[in-house]
Amino acid sequence: MQPLTKMQIQTLYEQAMNLREAGKAEEALGQFGQIIEANPNIAEPHFQAARIFLDGGRYDRAITHFLAAATLKAAEPVIWQGWAAAVALLGAPEAERTFLAALKKSPLAPEVRLVLQDRFGALRATSRPALGGVAPKDLSALVANARLGNHSLVETQARALLALHPQSAAVSNILGLALAGQSRPAEAAAAFAAAVRMDRNFAEGFMNLGQSLMEQGKPQEALRALREAVICAPDLVPALTNLGRLMADDGAADKALVFLQRAQRLAPDSIPMLVALAAAYNANRQNDLAEVAYQRAADLSGHRSARILAQLGKVQSRLGKDTAALASFDAALAIDPNQPAALGGKALLMQTMGQFDAAEEWFRRAFEHDPKNGMNYRLFLASHKTRAGDPIIAQMQALLDLKGPQALGALDRVNLGFALAKALEDTKDYDKVFPYLSMANVLVHNESPYDMALRHQEIAMMQKAMAGFDWQGAHIPGTTDYAPIFVTGMPRSGTTLVEQIIASHSDVTGAGEVGEGTRLGQNLLLNPQARGFHAITELPAAAIAAMGHEYQALMRARCPDTPRVTDKSIQTYLVIGLMKLAMPNARFIVVRRDPRDNLLSMYKNKFPDGTHLYAYDQRELATYYTTFVSMIDFWRREVPEWFYEVQYEDLVADPEVQTRRLIAACGLEWQDSCLNFHQNNRKVDTLSLYQVRQPMSSGSVKSWQRYEADLAPMLQKLAEDGHIPL
């Protein structure tokens, strides 16, 4: 890089600061980075970059730049305070040791050094609040009364002490606790906020402020307060617990686990910590670990918490442990017959098992005791055929019309929007469907935008990594003879129907959307150093063979007593060639459907949180479909005989002929049971759980024509990309 003049550096710095103030952190980082590259011996850009990394949760990167800034301007307390914050939030012992060693040699005033040093020593799990002149005996008396639970008396005494000593953070905190004990959260929050203004190192004050803000439904403000609590006392378990809980609720489950696992190491038998940890594992789709945490919490609580047992049941159901899940739900309902999570969880379990009448009974109980839970309505309507005049339509519309403090949150509005759209389609009120459908999709898209550029990059890099390989001539020694049947394609293309047909064969068990094969394949290809993928020619044959054996072990653990198993993992089409190398006996079925019907069906449905985020915008849907077609075309060029394509419209138009071809493509002998797939009582937990229990029908073919005007953005993009006629 060309050297920068002093004037150019000053201009870049001012531009970067303006970008940071405007909320454009990544752009600001780029500017600060240019200055650092041109002249690494200026403290200010290091400090500002460190602040951005700190705010963004990239604590290791923040530490690097705080260290550089402290080396250049060692006498600036604000640099050391930022460095200490990053170290406290990272929670890495080596980072602590490095910081403390540097702090010991710093020219900071002794009182500043002592405060920062004690965070990682004597005060790492607590703090010493400023007394503000209050005599220790008066504070002890106040604390004694607080422990007795006499909140009104404590409030009176605390206010009297604050009148005499208005800078006592300790007394203001106790006042806040007394107000919280009287169910006055807003006043309590004001008292806690006053306490931390008086003492910026008061960890418990920040923790209590965060708790109070959580109770008032102010999660972002609560997050900031709890983060400060952890900065002041890195081992304060309740603060770590609530911070992790809120981060998981905010869609950052992987980052939340850093704090919750630290809390687990410090207090392994804390029930609130275990519940928060389990919820974060659940949000991160680590259901096996979530089950362990919920089970431990249930055991520690003596199986007396209906809420914990209900959550345990939900995780067990997701893991396919239906008998255990049912027992957990029933145990929860024995404690509290109206426990909302148990009612909804049991309803969904009955539904996935095809027991629709029993499911309806439990769903209606859930509506009664959890009336604003939009998810229950959406899930119920997946297996309920709404008829004209059904009171559930007016019931849902009334919920959406609630205003003011009673108004529903965004997630419940999303779920009700999808539910109402489905109900109105059932009643053939087609002109009323899209207002609800568009509302729901826009809400999800705005909350969780999708990075289509990243998708294009992923597909391009994956094809580059696997192009030009001699697939036919490749020999991988030591591969497994395991022979799974992978069913893959776009969501809502008919993959669940195809899996149900195959799983109706007596030699086959349907495992559903396992996802392990795709995960193993992508992990093997991943090259983190290059931020891309290894070329397949670089992969050791032993590693490819080991991947197949690992997949076999995972599937044998799930389905131990079956000759063949289906895996309906949507993304398997990305790694067909690699999976076939690892498991030469595997079969691959790719399901295709008219993209207009396929993408409309996706647009009409809510997917599990954090998945298929492209599905909530019509043009993005069509663009994503293009990347899917590109990947299938790639494999058709490379290994055309390694997979079999099923066209959904052909299957429903000529079931027997197409089903016989499908079963032959799976390497199976024909059985008539495959034509009676709807009588298969296996568990199905996809969006198609109702449809696959009905006889095959062509009723959904060309359903896009009902909404042609509403689908204009999607249809235009499909035409532009050559998938449908202009």
Q: Which of the four pLDDT bands, split at 50, 70 and 90, describes residue 361?
A: very high
**Contact predicate 461/533, CB 8 Å:** yes
Same domain membership, residue 429 and residue 509:
no
Which residues 6+ apart lie within 8 Å of 382 measured at CB? 351, 422, 687, 689, 690
For residue 135, is it within any domain? no
Residues 6+ apart with CB under 8 A from 572: 486, 487, 488, 517, 518, 579, 588
* pLDDT at res. 354: 83
Structure tokens belonging to residue 23: 């909320």
The pLDDT of residue 373 is 94
- Look-up of token digits 């060029």: 637
Give pLDDT tens digits for 158-175. 999 999 999 999 999 999
In a shared domain, residues 25 and 109:
yes
CA angle in degrees (0–180, nearest 5) for 41-44-45: 80
Tell me the CATH number at 597.
3.40.50.300
Looking at 100-104, 143-147, 276-280, which range is the least confident one?
143-147
Same domain? 398 vs 332: yes
In a shared domain, residues 437 and 496: no
- Among 399, 426, 447, which residue terminates a domain? 447
Residue-wise pLDDT tens digits, 524-566? 998 887 778 999 999 999 999 999 999 999 999 888 888 899 9
**Pair 494, 440 in one domain:** no
Q: Which two tokens stand for residue 351?
A: 């539904």
Residue with tokens 């150019």: 8
Quick: pLDDT tens for 211-265. 999 999 899 999 999 999 999 999 999 999 999 999 998 888 989 999 999 999 9
Task: Give the model's confidence band at 382: pLDDT under 50 very low, under 70 low, under 90 confident, else very high.
Answer: confident
Which residue's entry shows tokens 């990544």? 26
Looking at residue 468, what is its pLDDT?
86
Per residue in 691-707, pLDDT tens? 655 666 777 899 999 99
In percent, the amount of the chain with pLDDT more than 90 equals 82
Does residue 700 share a domain with residue 584? yes
Strands 526-527 and 532-533: antiparallel
| Whole-Å CA distances, 365 to 89, 368, 380 | 44, 5, 12
**Cα angle for residues 702, 708, 711 (degrees, 5° grid):** 110
Q: Is there a single domain that holds both residue 431 and residue 509? A: no
Residue 597 lies in a domain: yes
Examine the domain organization and report whether 497 and 352 are in the same domain: no
Query: Domain for residue 456, yes or no?
Result: yes
For residue 184, tell me if it sits in a domain: no
- pLDDT of 183 reads 93
For CA atoms 678, 681, 686, 690, give the dihedral sign: positive
Q: Among 131-135, 459-463, 689-693, where is mean pLDDT lowest?
A: 689-693
DSSP H/E element including 260: helix 253-266
Q: pLDDT by residue (tens digit) across 575-600?
A: 999 999 999 999 999 999 999 999 99
pLDDT in tens, 12-32: 999 999 999 998 998 999 999
pLDDT at site 685: 54
3-state secondary structure of 518: helix
Ordered DSSP codes for 612-623? -GGGGSHHHHHH
Closest Cα partner for 159 from 194, 124, 121? 194
Q: Both tokens of residue 6?
A: 């002093």
Number of domains into which the chain is organized: 3
Give 590's strand partners: 488, 645
Distance CA 17, CA 32 (A): 9
Residue 438 and residue 505 in one domain? no
Q: How confident is the model at residue 689 (pLDDT cuts 50, 70, 90)?
A: low
Task: DSSP for 478-501, please give it.
Answer: T------EEEEESTTSSHHHHHHH
Closest CA to 524 of 574, 457, 460, 475: 574
Q: How confident is the model at residue 6 (pLDDT cuts 50, 70, 90)?
A: confident
Give the integer Cα–Cα distance in Å for 60 and 53: 8
For residue 510, give the DSSP letter: E
| Domain around 88 | 6-118
Show the tokens assigned to 579: 């999976």
Question: Is residue 260 a part of any domain in this protein?
Answer: no
Cβ atoms within 10 Å, residue 250: 14
User: Residue 542, Cβ neighbours under 10 Å: how many?
Assistant: 11
CB 42 within 8 A of CB 7: no
Give the pLDDT band (50/70/90) at residue 356: confident
**Structure token digits, residue 164:** 């005499």
Cβ neighbours around 483 below 10 Å, total: 16
| Three-point CA angle 523, 526, 532, nearest 5° | 155
Q: What is the CATH number of the domain that holds 308?
A: 1.25.40.10
From 392, 420, 447, the end of a domain falls on 447
Position 687 pLDDT exceeds 80: no
Q: Where are the alpha helices (DSSP H) in 511-617?
A: 516-525, 541-558, 576-582, 595-603
Shared-domain flag, residues 406 and 497: no
Q: Does residue 434 share a domain with residue 456?
A: no
Residue 1 is predicted with a pLDDT of 54
User: Is 154 within the bounds of a domain?
Assistant: no
527 occurs within a structural domain: yes
Interhelix angle 93-105/110-118, nearest 10 degrees: 170
- CA-CA-CA-CA dihedral for 203, 278, 688, 351, to nearest 10: -120
Rounded CA-CA distance 526/40 in Å is: 32
- Does residue 686 carry a pLDDT above 60? no
**Calculated CA dihedral for residues 489, 492, 493, 495, nearest 10 degrees:** 60
583 Ramachandran zone, left/alpha/beta (phi>0; psi -120 to 50): beta
The helix/strand/coil state of 178 is: helix
**In which element (H, E) is residue 587 found?**
strand 587-592
Segment of 401-405, 448-452, 515-519, 643-647 carrying the highest mean pLDDT: 643-647
Among the listed residues 551, 536, 541, the one whose alpha carbon sits nearest the alpha carbon of residue 481: 551
* Same domain for 515 and 436: no
Distances (CA, A) of 677 to 441, 484, 592, 630, 691: 33, 19, 19, 32, 11
pLDDT surpasses 60 at 681 = no
Apex CA 565: angle with CA 559 and CA 569, to 5°? 100
- Given a contact cutoff of 8 angstroms between Cβ atoms, the answer to whether 102 and 126 are in contact is no
What mean pLDDT value characterizes the chain? 93
Q: Which residues contact 581 (CB under 8 A, 6 or more apart)?
A: 471, 474, 476, 479, 544
Q: Residue 699 is encoded by which pair of tokens?
A: 């009723």
Last residue of a domain, one of 91, 118, 145: 118
Is residue 321 included in any domain, yes or no?
yes
